[in-house]
Amino acid sequence: MEEILKSVDLVKKANIYFDGNVTSRSYTDNEGNVKSLGVMMPGEYTFGTKLAEHMEIISGRVEVLLAGLESNWEVYEAGDYFEVPANSSFEIKVDKITDYCCTYL
């Protein structure tokens, strides 16, 4: 069953990255947590972080390399998550269209 979000403050303007290949919408949940829901098209991308991030893969498949772990690409699929430290970066290879939720920690 799909999760339905109620009582959230949603930002209408989309976050658009990499020529539209990665998009998301930000919201604050009823507990005050700032999150974004997005979609990544197949490709390879590098993201930087200001805050720590908890990235949940809702559907799709990705390979992730966290900064400083140059030889450890990890695979994440639906139901998996990974965390990225604040003031860091990660590389991501998107194998197929991927739906995700990012929580800023």
Structure tokens at 94: 């998107």
Residue 1 in domain: no
Which pLDDT belongs to residue 7? Answer: 76
| Number of domains within the chain | 1
Which pLDDT belongs to residue 20? Answer: 95
* CATH number of the domain within which 41 lies: 2.60.120.10
Q: What is the pLDDT of residues 32-42, one digit of tens each?
A: 889 999 999 99
**What single string gives the DSSP state of each residue in 64-85?**
EEETT-TT--EEEETT-EEEE-
Enumerate residues 6+ apart whose C-beta is below 8 A from 22. 16, 38, 39, 40, 41, 45
Residue 4 in domain: no
Range of the domain at 49: 9-104
Residue 2 in domain: no
pTM of the model: 0.87
Which pLDDT belongs to residue 3? Answer: 72
* 53 vs 56: CA distance, rounded Å: 10
Residue 41 in domain: yes
Identity of the amino acid at 70: E
Which pLDDT belongs to residue 45? Answer: 97
Residue 16 in domain: yes
Residue 20 in domain: yes
- Give me the residues of the chain with pLDDT under 50, please: none
Which pLDDT belongs to residue 2? Answer: 66
Which pLDDT belongs to residue 30? Answer: 85
Which pLDDT belongs to residue 70? Answer: 62
Which pLDDT belongs to residue 1? Answer: 52
Which pLDDT belongs to residue 62? Answer: 97
